[in-house]
Structure 1
């Protein structure tokens, strides 16, 4: 079975994270290739975090903290796109 498209997964997760901005997120994804790349990065980071958190040695994995920081940074970047589009988070 093929993995889900990370860009679509990331967009879905962004809509879940910023539900009030769902329409703006969908518009951005439809017209801005850079925003789609950010969605892909977000989806990949979320997938990687989930894999590390599912490991039996998760408590000892420094990658979990790294991915949480990366996800927060990507969420900030999504927020900047929303602000530039005139949409509050």
Structure 2
């Protein structure tokens, strides 16, 4: 409850203290100081997301694999586990 209250108070104070002046330049998309050119839709390759997702799966799998291997490497667990 304290965390939710803290976030709510922070957002409320931010809304009350910020300046509310809109201009056409302020509403433009910011691209590192360069004026936006072209369409607003960018095509991305799905395969990059698949590689990233596979990396995350195997990284998390490795985190649980090493402690499991050290426990079953103890004396008396080798043949029974195999």
TM beyond 0.5: no
What is the TM-score of this pair, normalised by structure 2? 0.29
Higher relative contact order (CA 8 A, sep 6+): 1
What is the TM-score of this pair, normalised by structure 1? 0.27
Q: Which has the higher helix share?
A: 1
> Who wins on radius of gyration, i.e. which is larger?
2
